[in-house]
Structure 1
Amino acid sequence: MGAAKSVFTPQELEDYEDLTYFTQKEVLSYFHQFKALAPDLISVQRDARLPMEVILRYPQLRYNPFGDRICMVFSSSRDGDCNFEDFLDMVSVFSAEAPMSVKAEYAFRIFDFDGDDMIGPEDMEEIIRRLLGDVQFPQVDILQLVQNLTSEADLDDDGMLSFAEFEHAISKSENFMRSFQLQL
Protein backbone atom coordinates (compact mmCIF):
# COMPACT_ATOMS: atom_id res chain seq x y z
CA MET A 1 0.00 0.00 0.00
CA GLY A 2 3.02 2.27 0.48
CA ALA A 3 3.50 2.63 -3.27
CA ALA A 4 -0.12 3.65 -3.68
CA LYS A 5 0.22 6.50 -1.19
CA SER A 6 2.92 8.09 -3.34
CA VAL A 7 0.36 8.50 -6.14
CA PHE A 8 -1.21 11.36 -4.17
CA THR A 9 0.37 14.00 -2.02
CA PRO A 10 -0.76 14.15 1.61
CA GLN A 11 -2.57 17.40 0.77
CA GLU A 12 -4.44 15.78 -2.15
CA LEU A 13 -5.57 12.93 0.09
CA GLU A 14 -6.69 15.41 2.71
CA ASP A 15 -8.60 17.38 0.07
CA TYR A 16 -10.30 14.24 -1.24
CA GLU A 17 -11.27 13.30 2.29
CA ASP A 18 -12.74 16.79 2.82
CA LEU A 19 -14.64 16.78 -0.50
CA THR A 20 -16.11 13.27 -0.33
CA TYR A 21 -17.74 10.99 2.18
CA PHE A 22 -14.59 8.83 2.35
CA THR A 23 -11.52 8.40 4.48
CA GLN A 24 -8.07 8.68 2.90
CA LYS A 25 -7.77 4.89 2.97
CA GLU A 26 -11.09 4.56 1.11
CA VAL A 27 -9.96 7.14 -1.47
CA LEU A 28 -6.87 5.02 -2.14
CA SER A 29 -9.04 1.92 -2.44
CA TYR A 30 -11.25 3.65 -5.02
CA PHE A 31 -8.17 4.78 -6.91
CA HIS A 32 -7.11 1.13 -7.15
CA GLN A 33 -10.59 0.23 -8.43
CA PHE A 34 -10.42 3.05 -10.98
CA LYS A 35 -6.93 2.03 -12.03
CA ALA A 36 -8.05 -1.60 -12.43
CA LEU A 37 -10.45 -0.48 -15.17
CA ALA A 38 -7.49 0.52 -17.40
CA PRO A 39 -4.24 -0.37 -15.61
CA ASP A 40 -1.92 0.39 -18.55
CA LEU A 41 -3.29 3.88 -19.07
CA ILE A 42 -3.53 4.86 -15.42
CA SER A 43 -0.03 3.67 -14.52
CA VAL A 44 1.38 6.03 -17.14
CA GLN A 45 -0.94 8.98 -16.55
CA ARG A 46 -2.65 9.42 -13.15
CA ASP A 47 -5.13 12.01 -14.39
CA ALA A 48 -6.19 10.00 -17.45
CA ARG A 49 -9.78 10.23 -18.67
CA LEU A 50 -11.32 6.83 -19.20
CA PRO A 51 -13.91 6.46 -21.96
CA MET A 52 -17.47 5.85 -20.83
CA GLU A 53 -17.29 2.30 -22.24
CA VAL A 54 -14.45 1.56 -19.82
CA ILE A 55 -16.18 3.20 -16.83
CA LEU A 56 -19.27 1.10 -17.60
CA ARG A 57 -17.15 -1.99 -16.92
CA TYR A 58 -17.11 -1.00 -13.25
CA PRO A 59 -19.06 -3.87 -11.66
CA GLN A 60 -21.55 -1.58 -9.92
CA LEU A 61 -22.45 0.11 -13.23
CA ARG A 62 -22.23 -2.82 -15.60
CA TYR A 63 -25.92 -3.76 -15.38
CA ASN A 64 -27.33 -0.44 -14.23
CA PRO A 65 -29.93 0.73 -16.77
CA PHE A 66 -28.82 4.31 -16.12
CA GLY A 67 -25.06 3.66 -16.33
CA ASP A 68 -24.56 5.88 -19.36
CA ARG A 69 -26.53 8.71 -17.75
CA ILE A 70 -24.54 8.35 -14.54
CA CYS A 71 -21.32 8.69 -16.52
CA MET A 72 -22.66 11.72 -18.39
CA VAL A 73 -23.75 13.49 -15.21
CA PHE A 74 -20.51 12.88 -13.33
CA SER A 75 -18.20 13.51 -16.29
CA SER A 76 -16.52 16.90 -15.89
CA SER A 77 -16.19 17.02 -19.69
CA ARG A 78 -19.92 16.14 -20.06
CA ASP A 79 -19.13 13.49 -22.68
CA GLY A 80 -19.31 10.49 -20.34
CA ASP A 81 -15.55 10.07 -20.08
CA CYS A 82 -14.33 10.24 -16.49
CA ASN A 83 -11.09 11.00 -14.73
CA PHE A 84 -10.41 9.80 -11.20
CA GLU A 85 -12.00 12.84 -9.58
CA ASP A 86 -15.20 12.31 -11.61
CA PHE A 87 -15.19 8.64 -10.59
CA LEU A 88 -14.58 9.53 -6.94
CA ASP A 89 -17.45 12.05 -7.00
CA MET A 90 -19.71 9.35 -8.43
CA VAL A 91 -18.90 6.68 -5.85
CA SER A 92 -19.11 9.29 -3.10
CA VAL A 93 -22.64 10.35 -4.07
CA PHE A 94 -23.70 6.72 -4.33
CA SER A 95 -22.18 5.82 -0.97
CA ALA A 96 -24.32 5.07 2.06
CA GLU A 97 -22.82 8.13 3.80
CA ALA A 98 -24.09 10.66 1.24
CA PRO A 99 -27.14 12.56 2.48
CA MET A 100 -30.54 12.26 0.85
CA SER A 101 -30.36 15.83 -0.48
CA VAL A 102 -27.18 15.09 -2.45
CA LYS A 103 -28.58 11.83 -3.80
CA ALA A 104 -31.79 13.60 -4.83
CA GLU A 105 -29.88 16.31 -6.71
CA TYR A 106 -27.90 13.79 -8.73
CA ALA A 107 -30.85 11.46 -9.29
CA PHE A 108 -32.79 14.38 -10.72
CA ARG A 109 -29.95 15.19 -13.11
CA ILE A 110 -29.64 11.54 -14.15
CA PHE A 111 -33.37 11.28 -14.86
CA ASP A 112 -33.55 14.62 -16.69
CA PHE A 113 -32.59 13.11 -20.05
CA ASP A 114 -33.16 16.24 -22.11
CA GLY A 115 -31.36 18.52 -19.65
CA ASP A 116 -34.15 21.08 -19.35
CA ASP A 117 -34.13 21.07 -15.52
CA MET A 118 -37.53 19.37 -15.45
CA ILE A 119 -38.57 15.74 -15.56
CA GLY A 120 -41.23 15.74 -18.24
CA PRO A 121 -43.34 12.98 -19.76
CA GLU A 122 -40.60 12.00 -22.24
CA ASP A 123 -38.08 11.72 -19.41
CA MET A 124 -40.47 9.59 -17.37
CA GLU A 125 -41.18 7.36 -20.33
CA GLU A 126 -37.44 6.84 -20.80
CA ILE A 127 -37.01 6.04 -17.10
CA ILE A 128 -39.79 3.45 -17.29
CA ARG A 129 -38.40 1.88 -20.47
CA ARG A 130 -34.95 1.56 -18.95
CA LEU A 131 -36.34 0.05 -15.76
CA LEU A 132 -38.36 -2.44 -17.78
CA GLY A 133 -35.29 -3.52 -19.74
CA ASP A 134 -36.24 -6.30 -22.14
CA VAL A 135 -39.79 -6.55 -20.80
CA GLN A 136 -42.20 -5.28 -23.43
CA PHE A 137 -45.13 -3.20 -22.21
CA PRO A 138 -47.83 -1.78 -24.45
CA GLN A 139 -47.31 1.92 -25.11
CA VAL A 140 -50.74 2.71 -23.69
CA ASP A 141 -49.73 1.14 -20.36
CA ILE A 142 -46.49 3.11 -20.25
CA LEU A 143 -48.36 6.34 -20.97
CA GLN A 144 -50.85 5.52 -18.24
CA LEU A 145 -48.01 4.94 -15.81
CA VAL A 146 -46.45 8.29 -16.79
CA GLN A 147 -49.80 9.96 -16.23
CA ASN A 148 -50.21 8.28 -12.83
CA LEU A 149 -46.71 9.28 -11.74
CA THR A 150 -47.24 12.84 -12.92
CA SER A 151 -50.60 13.21 -11.19
CA GLU A 152 -49.10 11.88 -7.97
CA ALA A 153 -45.99 14.09 -7.89
CA ASP A 154 -46.79 17.16 -10.02
CA LEU A 155 -47.92 19.64 -7.39
CA ASP A 156 -48.37 22.63 -9.71
CA ASP A 157 -50.15 20.65 -12.47
CA ASP A 158 -47.81 21.75 -15.26
CA GLY A 159 -47.28 18.20 -16.48
CA MET A 160 -43.63 18.13 -15.39
CA LEU A 161 -41.65 17.62 -12.21
CA SER A 162 -39.40 20.39 -10.97
CA PHE A 163 -36.55 19.48 -8.66
CA ALA A 164 -38.64 20.52 -5.64
CA GLU A 165 -41.52 18.25 -6.73
CA PHE A 166 -39.11 15.38 -7.43
CA GLU A 167 -37.43 15.81 -4.06
CA HIS A 168 -40.82 15.91 -2.33
CA ALA A 169 -41.94 12.73 -4.10
CA ILE A 170 -38.82 10.75 -3.27
CA SER A 171 -38.86 11.93 0.34
CA LYS A 172 -41.97 9.77 0.71
CA SER A 173 -40.08 6.72 -0.57
CA GLU A 174 -38.32 4.63 2.05
CA ASN A 175 -36.63 2.65 -0.71
CA PHE A 176 -35.05 5.60 -2.51
CA MET A 177 -31.93 5.83 -0.35
CA ARG A 178 -31.30 2.10 -0.68
CA SER A 179 -31.93 2.02 -4.42
CA PHE A 180 -29.73 5.04 -5.06
CA GLN A 181 -26.58 3.37 -3.77
CA LEU A 182 -23.99 1.40 -5.63
CA GLN A 183 -23.07 -1.70 -3.74
CA LEU A 184 -19.54 -0.52 -3.02
Structure 2
Amino acid sequence: MGNKLTAFTEEQLEAYQDCTFFTRKEILRIFKRFQELSPNRVPNDMRNGRVKKVRIPLTELEVMTELRENPFCERICQVFSEDGSGDMNFDDFLDMFSVFSEAAPRDIKCVYAFKIYDFDGDNFLNRFDLEKTLRCLTRNELTVDEVSFIVDKVIEEADLDDDNMLSYIEFEHVISRSPDFLNTFHIRI
Protein backbone atom coordinates (compact mmCIF):
# COMPACT_ATOMS: atom_id res chain seq x y z
CA MET A 1 0.00 0.00 0.00
CA GLY A 2 2.49 2.71 1.07
CA ASN A 3 5.26 1.45 -1.20
CA LYS A 4 6.53 4.85 -2.26
CA LEU A 5 9.87 5.01 -4.08
CA THR A 6 12.46 7.00 -2.15
CA ALA A 7 16.09 7.89 -2.72
CA PHE A 8 17.12 6.68 0.74
CA THR A 9 16.43 3.77 3.05
CA GLU A 10 14.43 4.39 6.22
CA GLU A 11 17.66 3.94 8.19
CA GLN A 12 19.44 6.61 6.13
CA LEU A 13 16.60 9.09 6.59
CA GLU A 14 16.45 8.42 10.33
CA ALA A 15 20.22 8.91 10.61
CA TYR A 16 20.00 12.18 8.68
CA GLN A 17 17.23 13.40 10.97
CA ASP A 18 19.33 12.47 14.02
CA CYS A 19 22.45 14.23 12.71
CA THR A 20 20.93 17.41 11.27
CA PHE A 21 18.40 20.05 12.17
CA PHE A 22 16.01 18.88 9.44
CA THR A 23 12.80 16.92 9.11
CA ARG A 24 12.47 14.08 6.63
CA LYS A 25 10.63 16.37 4.21
CA GLU A 26 13.40 19.00 4.40
CA ILE A 27 16.09 16.34 3.85
CA LEU A 28 14.32 15.16 0.70
CA ARG A 29 13.98 18.77 -0.48
CA ILE A 30 17.73 19.29 0.04
CA PHE A 31 18.41 16.07 -1.86
CA LYS A 32 16.28 17.37 -4.74
CA ARG A 33 18.39 20.56 -4.69
CA PHE A 34 21.57 18.44 -4.73
CA GLN A 35 20.24 16.42 -7.64
CA GLU A 36 19.24 19.54 -9.61
CA LEU A 37 22.84 20.77 -9.50
CA SER A 38 24.05 17.78 -11.48
CA PRO A 39 21.14 15.62 -12.73
CA ASN A 40 23.36 13.44 -14.92
CA ARG A 41 25.69 12.68 -12.02
CA VAL A 42 23.20 12.18 -9.14
CA PRO A 43 20.92 9.13 -9.43
CA ASN A 44 17.40 8.89 -7.99
CA ASP A 45 18.47 5.99 -5.79
CA MET A 46 21.13 6.82 -3.19
CA ARG A 47 20.97 3.53 -1.34
CA ASN A 48 23.69 0.85 -1.35
CA GLY A 49 26.65 3.12 -0.66
CA ARG A 50 26.01 5.65 -3.41
CA VAL A 51 25.75 8.55 -0.95
CA LYS A 52 29.52 8.55 -0.37
CA LYS A 53 30.48 7.79 -3.98
CA VAL A 54 28.44 10.39 -5.89
CA ARG A 55 30.22 13.73 -5.72
CA ILE A 56 29.43 17.07 -7.30
CA PRO A 57 32.52 19.07 -8.30
CA LEU A 58 33.25 22.45 -6.76
CA THR A 59 32.79 24.12 -10.16
CA GLU A 60 29.14 22.98 -10.23
CA LEU A 61 28.53 23.87 -6.57
CA GLU A 62 29.89 27.40 -6.99
CA VAL A 63 27.07 28.35 -9.35
CA MET A 64 24.23 27.40 -7.02
CA THR A 65 22.04 30.34 -6.08
CA GLU A 66 22.64 29.93 -2.35
CA LEU A 67 26.42 30.28 -2.71
CA ARG A 68 27.39 32.06 -5.90
CA GLU A 69 27.30 35.59 -4.46
CA ASN A 70 28.97 34.61 -1.20
CA PRO A 71 32.60 35.83 -1.12
CA PHE A 72 33.51 32.67 0.82
CA CYS A 73 31.81 30.28 -1.62
CA GLU A 74 34.92 28.26 -2.48
CA ARG A 75 36.13 28.20 1.11
CA ILE A 76 32.71 27.07 2.40
CA CYS A 77 32.73 24.16 -0.05
CA GLN A 78 36.27 23.22 0.96
CA VAL A 79 35.42 23.24 4.66
CA PHE A 80 32.33 21.10 4.24
CA SER A 81 33.79 18.62 1.74
CA GLU A 82 35.14 15.54 3.43
CA ASP A 83 38.50 15.68 1.64
CA GLY A 84 38.86 19.49 1.59
CA SER A 85 38.73 19.68 -2.22
CA GLY A 86 35.39 21.49 -2.37
CA ASP A 87 33.75 18.58 -4.19
CA MET A 88 30.79 17.32 -2.16
CA ASN A 89 28.83 14.15 -1.70
CA PHE A 90 25.29 14.36 -0.37
CA ASP A 91 26.39 13.93 3.26
CA ASP A 92 28.72 16.95 2.90
CA PHE A 93 26.00 18.97 1.19
CA LEU A 94 23.43 18.14 3.87
CA ASP A 95 25.92 18.99 6.64
CA MET A 96 26.53 22.38 5.03
CA PHE A 97 22.83 23.17 4.83
CA SER A 98 22.33 21.94 8.39
CA VAL A 99 25.02 24.22 9.84
CA PHE A 100 23.68 27.17 7.83
CA SER A 101 20.06 26.44 8.80
CA GLU A 102 18.23 28.83 11.08
CA ALA A 103 17.76 25.96 13.56
CA ALA A 104 21.51 25.41 14.06
CA PRO A 105 22.71 26.85 17.36
CA ARG A 106 25.20 29.70 17.60
CA ASP A 107 28.02 27.49 18.93
CA ILE A 108 27.94 25.18 15.90
CA LYS A 109 27.80 28.12 13.52
CA CYS A 110 30.73 29.70 15.34
CA VAL A 111 32.87 26.54 14.97
CA TYR A 112 32.28 26.49 11.22
CA ALA A 113 32.76 30.23 10.77
CA PHE A 114 36.15 29.84 12.45
CA LYS A 115 37.04 26.96 10.10
CA ILE A 116 35.99 29.00 7.07
CA TYR A 117 38.16 31.96 8.12
CA ASP A 118 41.12 29.73 9.07
CA PHE A 119 42.45 29.55 5.51
CA ASP A 120 45.76 27.92 6.44
CA GLY A 121 44.13 25.35 8.71
CA ASP A 122 46.39 25.90 11.73
CA ASN A 123 43.48 26.36 14.19
CA PHE A 124 44.29 30.04 14.70
CA LEU A 125 43.27 33.17 12.84
CA ASN A 126 46.63 34.76 12.17
CA ARG A 127 47.43 37.86 10.07
CA PHE A 128 47.30 35.82 6.85
CA ASP A 129 43.82 34.46 7.67
CA LEU A 130 42.50 37.84 8.77
CA GLU A 131 43.88 39.58 5.67
CA LYS A 132 42.40 36.92 3.40
CA THR A 133 39.05 37.13 5.22
CA LEU A 134 39.03 40.91 4.90
CA ARG A 135 39.90 40.73 1.20
CA CYS A 136 37.00 38.31 0.65
CA LEU A 137 34.58 40.51 2.58
CA THR A 138 35.59 43.66 0.71
CA ARG A 139 36.13 41.93 -2.63
CA ASN A 140 39.71 43.26 -2.78
CA GLU A 141 38.59 46.89 -2.73
CA LEU A 142 40.94 47.99 0.07
CA THR A 143 44.56 49.03 -0.28
CA VAL A 144 47.35 47.04 1.38
CA ASP A 145 47.66 49.77 4.02
CA GLU A 146 43.92 49.75 4.75
CA VAL A 147 43.89 45.97 5.13
CA SER A 148 46.91 46.10 7.41
CA PHE A 149 45.34 48.84 9.54
CA ILE A 150 42.06 46.93 9.97
CA VAL A 151 43.84 43.65 10.77
CA ASP A 152 45.95 45.50 13.37
CA LYS A 153 42.76 46.86 14.96
CA VAL A 154 41.06 43.44 14.97
CA ILE A 155 44.08 41.86 16.66
CA GLU A 156 44.33 44.76 19.12
CA GLU A 157 40.65 44.36 20.08
CA ALA A 158 40.24 40.59 20.03
CA ASP A 159 43.65 39.07 20.85
CA LEU A 160 43.33 38.63 24.60
CA ASP A 161 46.60 36.74 25.14
CA ASP A 162 48.78 39.04 22.98
CA ASP A 163 50.11 36.32 20.66
CA ASN A 164 49.15 38.27 17.48
CA MET A 165 46.50 35.78 16.42
CA LEU A 166 43.03 34.70 17.48
CA SER A 167 42.36 31.34 19.06
CA TYR A 168 38.94 29.79 18.73
CA ILE A 169 38.05 31.02 22.23
CA GLU A 170 38.99 34.60 21.32
CA PHE A 171 37.01 34.34 18.08
CA GLU A 172 34.01 32.95 19.94
CA HIS A 173 34.21 35.86 22.38
CA VAL A 174 34.04 38.34 19.47
CA ILE A 175 31.11 36.47 17.89
CA SER A 176 29.22 36.42 21.18
CA ARG A 177 29.22 40.23 21.08
CA SER A 178 27.95 40.31 17.48
CA PRO A 179 24.15 40.31 17.38
CA ASP A 180 24.07 40.12 13.57
CA PHE A 181 26.09 36.90 13.37
CA LEU A 182 23.10 34.54 13.45
CA ASN A 183 21.25 36.67 10.89
CA THR A 184 24.07 36.50 8.38
CA PHE A 185 25.37 32.96 8.88
CA HIS A 186 22.52 31.05 7.26
CA ILE A 187 21.17 29.72 3.98
CA ARG A 188 17.45 29.24 3.41
CA ILE A 189 16.28 26.03 1.79
Q: Return the TM-score normalized by structure 2.
A: 0.92
Kindly provide the CA deviation profile for residues 116-161 of structure 1, in whole angstroms up to 9, marking residues without a partner as x.
Answer: 1000011111111111115x22211110100111111111011000
Matched residues, number: 182
Distance 2:78 2:88 in 1: 9
Number of the residue aligned with 2:90:
84
Distance 2:24 2:138 in 1: 38
Number of the residue aligned with 1:166:
171
Distance 1:124 1:55 in 2: 25
Aligned: 1:149 with 2:154 = yes
**Pair 1:5–1:13, CA change in 2 (3 A):** farther
| SS class of match (1:107) | helix
- Deviation of the 1:82 alpha carbon: 0.2
Distance 2:157 2:20 in 1: 34
Q: Return the TM-score normalized by structure 1.
A: 0.94
Number of the residue aligned with 1:18:
18
- Tell me if structure 2 keeps the 8 A contact 1:5–1:28: no
- Deviation of the 1:55 alpha carbon: 1.2
Kindly provide the CA deviation profile for residues 20-50 of structure 1, in whole angstroms up to 9, marking residues without a partner as x.
Answer: 0000000000000000000111027733111
Number of the residue aligned with 1:72:
78
Distance 2:4 2:84 in 1: 29
- Structure with more of its chain in helix, by fraction: 1
- Deviation of the 1:183 alpha carbon: 3.1
- Tell me if structure 1 keeps the 8 A contact 2:7–2:45: no
- Pick from 63, 67, 76: which aligns with 2:69? 63
In structure 1, the gaps of 5 or more residues are none
Number of the residue aligned with 1:101:
107
The one-letter code matched in structure 2 to 1:145 is I
- Tell me if structure 2 keeps the 8 A contact 1:4–1:28: no
Distance 2:57 2:3 in 1: 26
Number of the residue aligned with 2:27:
27
Task: Report the RMSD for the aligned CA atoms in angstroms.
Answer: 1.6
- Tell me if structure 1 keeps the 8 A contact 2:110–2:172: yes
Aligned: 1:51 with 2:57 = yes
